[in-house]
């Protein structure tokens, strides 16, 4: 069986495929999502970038200080709520993608007892909470999964957020470059 991700000499890593997998799996902050250097290769409906491991030592993940990165999200869940609804124990997801078109991978974390958060990547492993500026600071909901995808075919990433008991919300990117403004798409449930 061929591995879905191969990093190293002679390998090519498909960012769109990885982002779909990350959005689907709901995994945490990946150090491999942001590559240094290199040029994007463009295909029909996707682009990819060769990733070369940095530094010496064994491959893996590096713990990064939230005070330095700006990513301070914690997905809290009270004992009372988890006892009342065991489905909440399945946790929540994260979406990773370049929502503002600046070439850096932005992050959206789903929350249960804590609000969901959109972090804009400013480069050099620095992130800024842009949830309110993006129009995503709605009432707290039980967000269980998210994915960035171009749902309206305009060439930029939109946000789909699934909730427990609240349906699917669709946020279409309306801004460009500096501010990832979003709005609720008609027909999505609250």
C-alpha 43/C-alpha 56 separation (Å) is 32
CB-based burial label for 179 (10 Å; 0-12, 13-18, 19+): middle
Q: Which SS3 state, helix, strand or coil, does residue 91 take?
A: coil
Contact 106, 71 (CB under 8 A): no
pLDDT at 19 over 80: no
pTM: predicted TM-score of the whole model, two decimal places: 0.67
- Could you report the per-residue pLDDT of 116-175, keeping only the tens digit for each? 999 999 999 999 999 988 888 766 788 999 999 988 888 888 899 998 888 888 888 876
Report the distance separating Cα 148 and Cα 99, nearest Å.
8
Is the pLDDT reported for residue 36 higher than 90? no
Q: What percent of the chain has pLDDT over 90?
A: 27
């Amino acid at each position: 069986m061929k591995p879905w991700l191969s990093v190293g000499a002679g390998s090519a890593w498909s960012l769109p495929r990885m982002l779909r997998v990350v959005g689907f799996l709901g995994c945490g902050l990946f150090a491999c999502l942001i590559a240094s250097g290199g040029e994007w290769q463009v295909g029909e409906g996707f682009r990819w970038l060769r990733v070369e491991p940095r530094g010496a030592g064994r491959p893996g993940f590096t713990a990064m200080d939230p005070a330095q990165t700006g990513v301070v999200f914690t997905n809290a869940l009270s004992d009372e709520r988890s006892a009342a609804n065991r489905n909440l124990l399945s946790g929540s997801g994260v979406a990773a993608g370049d929502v503002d078109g600046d070439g850096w991978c932005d992050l959206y974390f789903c929350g249960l007892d804590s609000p969901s958060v959109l972090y804009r990547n400013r480069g050099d492993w620095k992130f800024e909470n842009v949830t309110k500026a993006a129009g995503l600071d709605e009432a707290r909901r039980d967000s269980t999964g998210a994915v960035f995808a171009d749902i309206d075919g305009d060439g930029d990433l939109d946000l789909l957020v699934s909730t427990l008991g609240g349906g699917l919300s669709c946020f279409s990117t309306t801004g460009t470059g500096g501010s990832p403004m979003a709005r609720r798409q008609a027909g999505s449930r609250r």
